Chain A
């Protein structure tokens, strides 16, 4: 069964492509647990729907939007414009910092407020899925937004000595370019005027940006490991009256290991999406 026809008939908005092309945070694609298997299916579908409706954009996507209601459309447009602007501000601040100082040292410190504000603001994406104005799975969006929040608040913000690592710049650049492309893609789609180069950027940039972002995130977590081990931060030790312990160091190790099975799955999924959206290839996916 080619999913394409079904998806086109369903004709959900371009928004459904959602995070599919959004490096470098990972999807929970592990096929072992039932919940993750379900997530995998839904992310597959989301991506396919998005791709299909973009392929037949003129016809399908506007209809979906008219069903959304004025208030929701207005809010989403405002939100997407604000987020595009926010990440643009970040991009400019980063470029200016580097031009003036000629070094990446102190870069994170200078932009951290803006970064934390806009990245935390992305939590609203989960709310959008929850209340149904964005047709992407809550679990997929939830995992992706929270992994970003994790990188910002629980790694970079909390472990000061690693803030000047080159790897921080690596994921910052990857995130910034990705988010500018992604949010402007949403904005222009909502306004019904999607320039081809934005669509092209959204489905090509990830080829480089996704591995770059993942590398940045992994190297940053790796750099954090010795500090976490030394300070024992965010860890709970026995004995305590709840009879449970938690070791942030091992948690980070497991997090890093989980990138190994997840990264290729998402990356190849996105390559398939790209072929479908940009080259109109019909990909017959295996029916489950």
Chain B
């Protein structure tokens, strides 16, 4: 069996960083990354991006050396992706923040609404219901992160955590401030509006959870395989007939329900911003499904049935 030689150059300076001789032909990129870390311990594998072209796409961890378009001496270009942090850590910080922040406003801790309101409770039922819904939503997300989701990528750049936390925490504080404000105005159409909103919220939460379970069952533990998700026996997953990312459809629906329930403009804005972001993600996912699977169901749209 013929061995390969691999040289790793810096993608920016073209400086030679590492030379590996006698690399097995069936070595994967992940294994090469591990070898590279031995000479450069500051760049642990998750930080490394290796590519065939200095400006090209990163090679996947599972790519095999002998299947790449290289001679017996392969030149790979290295880029440092910066400090990495695990998805689980990011998600937990992102979601624990809003849960905690919202409760600070709900209990009206001092220095928010003025001294005489400290630790008082709202006289509107909807405020208490809203607190239950908001807390439920984030507890559900936390538990899902711990026990349901399987992440195809282990890490993300460290700076993302600052960006995402500003977004989630900031919006949570802004919404909670008005919903729990002593001068809060309850919904115009009273109990009817709240009941309708609660129904939307609950259905969408159940739907979102069902989709997450369905996606989990699609990917066996420890694998990175990708399959087309199809509806299961659970009726909530039947939305897969019409959209590629029903989890986002349900998530947006939950927030619309919460906005109707609280009749609070910041919640509506948060729903809108979230919808925009999730549409971008859904379009990306939809495109990659179409690219990967020839027999992808043509009826599906990225996030809104028949529309978007």
A-side residues, CB < 8 A to B, are 1, 32-34, 238-245, 287
Instruction: List chain B residues, Cβ under 8 A from A287.
Output: 12
Scoring A239, A240, A244, A287 by chain B CB atoms within 10 A of each residue's CB, the highest score goes to A244
Of B12, B163, B166, B265, which one neighbours A242 at CB under 8 angstroms? B265
Are the CB atoms of A241 and B166 closer together than 8 Å? Answer: no
Closest A residue, CB atoms, query B177: A245
Which residues of B have CB within 8 Å of A1? Answer: 12
Assess whether A241 is in contact with B263, with CB atoms less than 8 Å apart.
yes
A selection of 17 A-B contacts at a CB cut-off of 8 Å is: A1-B12, A32-B166, A33-B166, A238-B178, A238-B183, A238-B185, A241-B188, A242-B263, A242-B264, A243-B178, A243-B179, A243-B262, A243-B263, A243-B266, A244-B265, A244-B266, A245-B178
CA distance A1 to B13 in the complex (A): 9
Once the chains are docked, how many angstroms separate the CA of A33 from the CA of B277?
A: 14
A34 lies within 8 A of B163 (CB)? yes
Partner of A238, one of B12, B163, B166, B181: B181
Question: Could you tell me the distance between the alpha carbons of A245 and B263 in the complex, rounded to whole angstroms?
Answer: 13
- Residues of B131-183 contacting chain A, CB below 8 A: 163, 166, 178-179, 181, 183
Chain A residues near B265: list those with CB within 8 A.
Answer: 242-244
Chain A neighbourhood of B12, CB < 8 A: 1, 287
Flag if A241 contacts B185 (CB, 8 Å): yes
Chain B residue at smallest Cβ distance from A287:
B12
Please, how many angstroms separate the alpha-carbon atoms of A239 and B185 in the complex?
6
Footprint of A on B, CB under 8 Å? 12, 163, 166, 178-179, 181, 183-185, 188, 262-266
A32-B163, A33-B163, A245-B178 given; 14 more Cβ-contact pairs under 8 Å: A1-B12, A33-B166, A238-B181, A238-B183, A238-B184, A238-B185, A239-B184, A241-B185, A241-B188, A243-B181, A243-B184, A243-B185, A244-B178, A244-B266
Residues of A within 8 A of B183 (CB): 238-239
Give the complex CA separation of A240 and B263 in angstroms: 10
Residue of B at shortest CB range from A37? B163
The CA-CA distance from A1 to B181 in the complex, in Å, is: 53
Please report the C-alpha to C-alpha distance between residue A238 and residue B264 in the assembled complex, in whole angstroms. Answer: 12
Docked CA distance A240–B266 (Å): 13
A33 contact set on B, CB distance < 8 A: 163, 166
Among A238, A239, A242, A243, the one with the most B-chain Cβ atoms within 10 Å of its Cβ is A243
Q: Kindly report which residue of chain B lies nearest to residue A243, judged by CB atoms.
A: B264
Give bound CA distance, A240 to B184, whole Å: 8
A157 to B262, CA, bound (A): 37
Bound form: Cα–Cα A54–B131 in Å:
59
Q: Is the CB of A240 within 8 A of B163?
A: no
A243 to B184 CA separation, bound complex (whole angstroms): 6
* Cβ contacts under 8 Å, B264 to chain A: 242-244
Q: Which 4 A-B pairs have the closest CB atoms?
A: A244-B265, A238-B183, A243-B264, A239-B183
Most chain B beta carbons < 10 A, residue from A33, A240, A241, A287: A241
How far is B10's CA from A287's CA once the two chains are assembled, in angstroms?
14
Complex contacts, B184 vs chain A, CB 8 Å: 238-239, 243
What is the distance, in angstroms, from B280's C-beta to the closest C-beta of chain A?
A: 12
What is the chain B residue whose CB lies nearest that of A34? B163
- The closest CB in chain B to the CB of A241 belongs to B185
- Distance in angstroms between the alpha carbons of A45 and B69 in the assembled complex: 34
Closest A residue by C-beta to B167: A33
Determine the chain B residues whose CB is within 8 A of the CB of A245 once the complex forms.
Answer: 178
Of all chain B residues, which has the CB nearest A1?
B12
Minimum CB–CB distance from B156 to chain A (whole Å) comes to 13
A244 / chain B contacts, CB cutoff of 8 Å: 178, 264-266
Q: How many angstroms from the CA of A40 to the CA of B184 in the assembled complex? A: 39
